[in-house]
Amino acid sequence: MKEMLLKKINERSLVAGVVGLGYVGLPLAVEKAKAGFKTIGFDVQASKVDMVNAGQNYIGDVVDEDLAKLVKEGKLSASADFGGLREVDFVAICVPTPLDAHQEPDTSYVESSAKSVAKNLHKGMIVVLESTTYPGTTEGLVRSILEKESGLKCGEDFYLGFSPERVDPGNKRFKVKNTPKIVGAIGEDASEVISRMYSVVLDGDIVTVSTPAVAEMAKILENTYRNINIGLVNELGRLCNRMGISIWEVIDAAKTKPYGFQAFYPGAGVGGHCIPLDPYYLTWKAREYGFHTTLIENSMTINDGQPEYVAERAMHILNRNKKAINGAKVLLLGVAYKNDIDDYRESPAIRVWKELKKLGAEVSYYDPWVKSFNNMYGESGTSIPTLTPEIIASYDLVIITTAHKDVDYDMVQKNAQAIFDTKNAMKDIKVKDNIEVL
């Protein structure tokens, strides 16, 4: 089986599949097709399938022309019929792994995808899970579903592995194509074949580890590391505010050290699909072993409470301007979870929105990247169409919650009654009389 699959990879006769055509799946499908493999994307959302088949891009990290060209040439297509997996030799599962209402892992998307693959699993097939999850998911949950539903045996009839996605939306330097790829598979043959497939598709180094669990834990570590350090600067930021010290200036000074320090920055909270969620996966799994991840949980508590802290600071700013937050008009600049992207998943700005409304404020937002939102917190909104001096002046407080670059911050400063800058977006503005930073 190994030699047959390696031959297919080298000859580009292997048919590749991707389950889930979101921020992870579509860029990966495009790269597989660009590498010369016939590629089929599968998704339950008909709108995504239709857009891909029409050559219409909806993901910022995909080049419009690349997608249109690949579809036109017949190298890339999409389908909502998972029966098409029967003709696929290599399938990557790239579906969401959110938290449920109790802040515990929701593996329903992975389970559903694994069952769809299992129904169409055939001998000589390769299955790779890319969705971020807790250690043991691939070797336990996914393997069990595949073997039970198909009657085939892992390692003998099909190969199974885990290769975590490392997508950073909006990153201009590192994309799917050139980011190092970790591969952990069940068995040496599976590891060799999966690594070979990624090596011909991607330009980044292929980092092979001993088991899928190691690869799963590596991904969790990457994001938990960031979560802890963000929690550290958020807590120090609160202390610096009480001490009358600029946390931003402190960080700028500390990062001049050429070794032993990496700069992280405070904000309204932590957003995106991975960093706010992955630590919960780890702490949940740790409890199975009677282990309490105290440091990790403390950082999660700090970051989770940051939107409330921002709302409280906003209330104090309004109070100093002799205005009550109840009935105050507040404008948020940005609801995307990071600058210059349209992704608002787990955005702390939306939680700030919710907290301000709970305090009685009349909240609006402007975001040139996110025209409207509807999210898990039960909040929805539509961006005001444009920023003008008159509009800025009409608000009692402007809060910068996302540091989009295409905002005229100089104009905002000149016309705002009061500004709360949680992203240090106005660091180069000379007149700061109406600006307070996080």
Which of 300, 292, 294 has the alpha carbon at shortest distance from 276?
300
Q: How far apart are the first and last CA of the chain?
A: 58
Residue 38: strand pairing partners: 15
Question: Contact, 190 vs 127, CB < 8 A?
Answer: no
CB of 415 closer than 8 Å to CB of 424:
no
Say what the alpha-carbon torsion angle 184, 190, 195, 197 is, to the nearest 10 degrees: -130
Catalytic annotation, pick one of 94, 154, 240, 274 = 274
240 is catalytic: no
Cβ atoms of residues 196 and 185 within 8 Å: no
For strands 419-421 and 397-400, give the pairing: parallel
Structure tokens at 136: 């043991």
Taking CA 16 as the corner, what is the angle to CA 15 and CA 21, rounded to the nearest 5 degrees? 145
| Sheet of 435-437, strands arranged across | 362-366, 329-333, 397-400, 419-421, 435-437
Which of 7, 26, 35 lies closest to 198 in space, CA to CA? 35
**Rounded (10°) angle between helices 212-243 and 294-304:** 50
Q: Which phi and psi angles does 381 have, rounded to 5°?
A: -165, 165
What are the structure tokens assigned to 195, written together? Answer: 């690594």
Residues labelled catalytic: 274
